[in-house]
Amino acid sequence: MPTLTFVLPDGTRRTLEGKAGLSVMEVAMAEDLPGIIAECGGNAMCATCHVYAGATDRLPPVSEVEDEMLDSTAAPRTPASRLSCQVQIADNWDGMTFDVPETQL
């Protein structure tokens, strides 16, 4: 099982089990991870599931739509910024980390 570690703004770490094919957002929501809101349910429409990825090179590329939405996140965008609903979990992930921003709104 791929594992994902979320680092909350206060430094707390939570490690969750993912499943290939699910999005990072879906795993976070199923476990009620605080700080991920995902108002639109995973359509890249609301930009409230923003995360900072630890290893961007292992992730699928950012689409044009995601790129535009990332420009409108509440917390500052960095090169590590992703919308977690657009990042599908892969089988070969282990110890992937995602920092949860201070705010999504």
Where does this chain bind another protein (CB under 8 A)? 26, 29-32, 39-47, 64-65, 68-69, 71-72
CB of 3 to another protein, least distance (A): 19
Q: Judge whether 7 and 100 are in contact, CB under 8 Å.
A: yes
Tell me whether residue 10 or residue 32 sits nearer to another protein (CB atom).
32
Q: What is the dihedral of CA 44, 74, 96, 6, to 10 degrees?
A: -120
Q: 20 is written with which tokens?
A: 């290939």
Q: CB of 91: closest distance to another protein in angstroms?
A: 18
Output 32 or 57, the one with its CB closest to another protein: 32
3, amino acid identity: T
Q: How open is the CA angle 41-34-16, to the nearest 5 degrees?
A: 85
Cβ proximity to another protein, 54 vs 88, nearer residue: 88
